[in-house]
Structure 1
Amino acid sequence: MEKMRKFCWGVSLVLLMMACSSGESDEYIDRMDEEHEGDRPVANAATQSENADRLPVSGEEVQYATVNGTEITGYLATPDEAGDGGPALIVIHEWWGLNDNIRMMTDKLAGEGYTALAVDLYKGKVAESPDSAGTYARSVDEEEAVENLDQAYRFLTRQQGVEAVGTIGWCFGGGWSLQTALAMPEAIDATVIYYGRLVTDAGELSTLDMPVLGIFGAEDDGIPPEEVKKFEAALDEAGVTNDIHIYEGADHAFANPSGTRYNAEAAEDAWQKTVEFLAEYLN
């Protein structure tokens, strides 16, 4: 299986570089600049919400990768009663970076029974304004990001002893959740995309060997419904199991409780769909 994973990794890396051309990435970030104009990662009541039904968890900062000589630190959250070999998630931050909101979401995922590792594609930088977020997103070297995510997978499987690994990300991280699945199709067992950059070519998507859950807002001009429908059609054509949802009245970043576009009704429904999807395909 390890030899097969490495082989598929090599093939998929080529596909990834084709899908993540510099021009396409820059165009997407330009759209995110417009979508987040005037937005701020500010806390609100939903940020502090608790769920009594969740398992108690423990969280810590961990070094999970070294990329081009730079040590990468992420946030690892685990259920306090987690046993060996349980399911895990690679959690990928929004364009704000690995901030307290992402740590909270990582704890929340761990509370559902997953070993959850929030990766850091910004190498320790955290944005406080749309301008700095756009700068940090544009500074990401895509080949380094793939290596970062591959090492996150190895950290979970080799050091944490997990067997099934899924990916989840929002905004910038939603796009990278899909790209991680394309890079490691034989390794990733489930993929969740919250309003991230999409691939709409069925040939590229045909390498995916896991189910995909997609969460999007109908008012999102950065990832418009027309593009989401093309993505869904391409997944269907490629024979990839998928569950795609477009929420009426919801804008980009509607599920971020620390942002100014939070839509509680849509976010809560999307979270329930996420929990059910992960339970079906990772547990």
Structure 2
Amino acid sequence: MKLATWFSAFLLFSSVVSAEIVESKLTLPGKLGSAVLYSDSDNTEAGPAVVVVHEWWGLNDYARGRARQLAEAGYTAIAVDMYGTGKSTDHPKDAMAFMKAALAEPDKMNARFDAALAILAKQPVVDKNKLYAIGYCFGGAVVLNQARRGLDLAGVASFHGTLGTEAKAQANTVKAKVLVATGGADPMVPPAQVGGFVEEMSAAGVDLQLLSFPGVVHGFTNPGATAVGVKNKMPLAYDANADRLSWEALMAMLAE
């Protein structure tokens, strides 16, 4: 009896440790930059996959960690560098410069996103009808704009991302479901901007889920946000509850 119990426990332990998250560093075609692909080696059936777009700090450990977290949940994920290759910082002045340079070349940003999405679609364990995109801060704005472009995405999720745009979504153009998680006390995404976004999505007939967390400021999903906010005197702070609830909403979207 003891031997049988030990053997069962061994099999369970073996099945747990056999799963391996594979990290593959990639170069995007056309000298567009780089990306990192994460997948679970145990996956054998095609399922959802996610493009992850970083905060204005660049493709750092936090953004890569979110892509890895998705792989650990059973999804294939690719973290794409919207700045090209390797630009990252923890100083807001540099981050602003990186972001402005990227925003000045929207066609190149779209090309980087398209290249990352194409890489995902080619993976053998990815269902091409279940491609998603998520973004944080700057990345949240990026993925919302990809939805506004009318890309064949099953869904997009923006976490503490800016919501305004000059190129508003047109009726019956957005194919993706949209999840937005924002801080109710975030001065970078004020209530008027949130209200305008809701009106835009409603007018365009978009399937929108909006989560607004009272008293929560910018960067609430990033555990390092509080220290960076204090250091640079910025309204940044991690909020464990908002982080948990917004991630659960994303998991529910991916599981649909």
TM-score bucket of the superposed structures, by smaller chain? 0.7 to 0.9
Give how far 1:59 is off: 3.6
Matched, 1:60 2:17: no
Larger Rg over CA atoms: 2
* Aligned partner of 1:243 among 193, 198, 209: 209
* Aligned partner of 1:155 among 108, 119, 129: 119
**Partner of 1:125 in structure 2?**
87
Summarize deviations over 1:110-160 as a string: whole Å, max 9, x none: 122210000001121111211111111111121101001111111111245
Counterparts of 2:50 and 2:210, CA distance in 1: 20
Give how far 1:71 is off: 5.2
Give how far 1:56 is off: 4.6
Counterparts of 1:189 and 1:226, CA distance in 2: 28
Contact (CA 8 Å) 2:160, 2:220: kept in 1 or not?
no
Number of corresponding residues: 224
Contact (CA 8 Å) 1:63, 1:71: kept in 2 or not?
no
Q: Percent identity?
A: 32
Indicate the SS of the match to 2:99.
Answer: helix
* Aligned partner of 1:216 among 175, 182, 200: 182
Letter in 2 for 1:275: M
Per the normalisation by structure 1, the TM-score is: 0.73
Matched, 1:100 2:61: yes
Indicate the SS of the match to 2:47.
Answer: coil
- Structure 2, unaligned runs of 5 or more: 1-15, 227-236
- Structure 1, unaligned runs of 5 or more: 1-52
Considering Cα pairs closer than 8 Å and 6+ residues apart, tell me whether 1 or 2 has the greater RCO: 1
Per the normalisation by structure 2, the TM-score is: 0.81
Alignment of 1:132-171 (within 5 A): 132-140=94-102, 141-160=105-124, 162=126, 163=128, 164-171=130-137
Summarize deviations over 1:220-275 as a string: whole Å, max 9, x none: 11111221122122212221111001101110111111221101111111111111
Alignment of 1:1-283 (within 5 A): 56-67=19-30, 70=31, 72-123=33-84, 124-140=86-102, 141-160=105-124, 162=126, 163=128, 164-183=130-149, 185-199=150-164, 204-206=169-171, 207-260=173-226, 261-280=237-256
